[in-house]
Amino acid sequence: MRNERYGRHGQRNDDSGRPRHAARDMRDDYADEGRHASHTPRRERYSDSPSLRSFQLPFPPLFLLAAAIVALLLIFAVGSFACSLVQPHENQPAEETAMEETTSSETESSSQEQADTVASHVQELLQLPELPSGCEPTSLTIVLRAMGYDMNAEDIIDSYIPLDATWTDSTSFLGDPYEGGGCFPPVIVNAANDFLSDHGSTTTAMDITGATFDEVLAIADSGTPVMLWTTMYQEEPSFSGQEIGPYEWYVNEHCVVVYGSEGDKVLVSDPLDGLVERDRAYFSALFETCGSMAVVIVDSESSLDGLLTSQVGPEQLEYADLDILDGLTPPEERPGEEGPRNFGGSPHDVDDEGSTSSQSDESSSPQSDTLTSSQSDSSASSSSSAEA
């Protein structure tokens, strides 16, 4: 049976049985589909399309944006590094300047710390004219003032220093600082500790007799001033032969404060000369000939760790031979004065022309060990010419 839809040659017939042209059939089919699609939403219309359904983004859009930003940063970093390799001299000065500024700030900070030590506050304090023999209490006052105490040497003398008119007790002042005499480290240690205790301080005074001069300077350079015994006007010590306890009296005994050093110069606050510089070699030799006696005020003994290794204390007292002064040049003039600095006798025995009158050890030194109690008053008055 012949199919009415198709003709003799297999072409498609229309509803009336007539043959249809293939191109026309295709056009008609597309027209039918278009009419159907016009009533279908766009998303549904193309959702089943094989070509559109197969195309999808491999990564989310935010990931692509982040990747682009990272790539730009990498490019910038590589470019900067390349520039630094090509032109290192342009960046080097800036780096060196930054390092110099850092070093400078560290140095300034270190200088400020060093400037805030006790030694940095040492000032001039003269004993004359009130205290012709008060160099020791004056030196102690210099140190206490540097520590921040507002007081005078007379406060120390009147309240903390016992006087010994018999010139036999090394733990008391020999004579009278207002007239004549002197004292040794035990007197200053006791006076300092009594004063500090009365003012609620936990610091303590130590007798470091026996310390080397290098150790004394190390302590002073660390910021702690040192009271030490030397001679007036840097004279050669003149020993009287009289022993007072473990000490031997010398008529030109003197006490000063060392607060630092600069090269071969020692920074000294001298109750007779004020703030002065002393030659290190000569001043060191005088220190040793006078028994290497010194006193220091510290927070505790551990404060001297690494600075003081010698055995110290009154039992270490030892007077070096005067021969160590041979070959050393003593100072010739006092600062601000035209007369000679070194005197053969007491510095107050210089006449108008600068010559020195002779004076025996007996007249300028304290009385001998056989001094009796009835002679004590006359002894003190006869020794008033001896300055501390």
Look at 362 and 145; give whichever has higher pLDDT: 145
Q: What is the pLDDT of residue 287?
A: 98
Specify which of 9-18, 110-119, 129-138 reaches the highest per-range mean pLDDT. 129-138
pTM of the model: 0.62
Question: Percent of the chain beyond pLDDT 90?
Answer: 53
Q: What is the pLDDT of residue 66?
A: 80
Q: What is the pLDDT of residues 300-321, one digit of tens each?
A: 989 999 999 999 999 999 999 9
Which alpha helices (H) appear in the chain, and where do they start and end?
22-37, 42-47, 50-53, 61-86, 88-115, 135-146, 153-160, 185-198, 213-221, 280-289, 361-364, 376-382
pLDDT at residue 59 tops 90: no
pLDDT of residue 106: 54
Fold type of domain 121-328+367-382: Cathepsin B; Chain A (3.90.70)
Residue 288, classified by CB atoms within 10 Å of its CB into exposed (0-12), middle (13-18) or buried (19+), is middle
Task: Give the pLDDT band (50/70/90) at residue 247.
Answer: very high
Calpha distance 85→331 (Å, rounded): 63
Cβ proximity of 348 and 128 under 8 Å: no
In the prediction, which pLDDT does 370 show? 31
Q: Where are the domains of the chain?
A: 61-115, 121-328+367-382
Q: What is the pLDDT of residue 95?
A: 56
Q: Could you tell me which residues come within 8 angstroms of residue 18 by beta carbon, excluding any fewer than 6 positions away?
A: none
Average pLDDT over residues 330-349: 45
Look at strands 163-164 and 173-176 and give their pairing. Answer: parallel
Please choose, from the candidates 125, 150, 161, the residue with its C-alpha nearest in 3D space to the C-alpha of residue 269: 125
Question: Which of 105-119, 161-175, 254-268 bottoms out in mean pLDDT, i.e. has the lowest?
Answer: 105-119
pLDDT higher than threshold 70 for residue 278 = yes
> CA-CA distance, 202 to 204, in Å (whole number)?
7
* Mean pLDDT value of segment 64-78: 82
Burial of residue 369 (number of CB atoms within 10 Å: 0-12, 13-18, 19+): exposed
pLDDT category, 213, cuts 50, 70, 90? very high
Q: Tell me the pLDDT tens digit for each residue of 341-378.
A: 333 333 333 333 333 333 334 334 343 333 333 333 43
Computed over every residue of the chain, the mean pLDDT equals 76
Confidence of residue 250 (pLDDT cuts 50, 70, 90): very high
Q: Determine which of 17-26, 54-63, 371-380 has the lowest per-residue pLDDT on average.
A: 371-380
